[in-house]
Amino acid sequence: MKMRYELRQRGRGLRKCRICGGSRAVIRSYKLYICRRCFRENAHNLGFDKLS
Ligand SMILES: [Zn+2]
**Across the chain, which distance is largest between two alpha carbons, in Å?**
36
- Closest to 33 (Cα-Cα) out of 45, 50, 21: 21
Query: What are the sequence ranges of the domains in the chain?
Result: 2-46
Cβ within 8 Å of residue 27, ≥6 positions away: 33, 34, 35, 36, 39
Calculate how far, in angstroms, residue 15's C-alpha sits from the geometric centre of ligand 1.
Answer: 11
Calculate how far, in angstroms, residue 50's C-alpha sits from the geometric centre of ligand 1.
Answer: 19
Map residue 34 onto helix, strand or coil.
strand
What is the reported pTM?
0.57
Calculate how far, in angstroms, residue 47's C-alpha sits from the geometric centre of ligand 1.
Answer: 17
Q: What is the CATH number of domain 2-46?
A: 4.10.830.10
For the chain, the residue count is 52
Calculate how far, in angstroms, residue 30's C-alpha sits from the geometric centre of ligand 1.
Answer: 15
Evaluate the CA torsion angle 27, 34, 25, 3 in order and state its sign. positive
pLDDT in tens, 1-52: 566 655 555 555 468 999 999 988 998 887 888 999 998 888 888 787 665 4
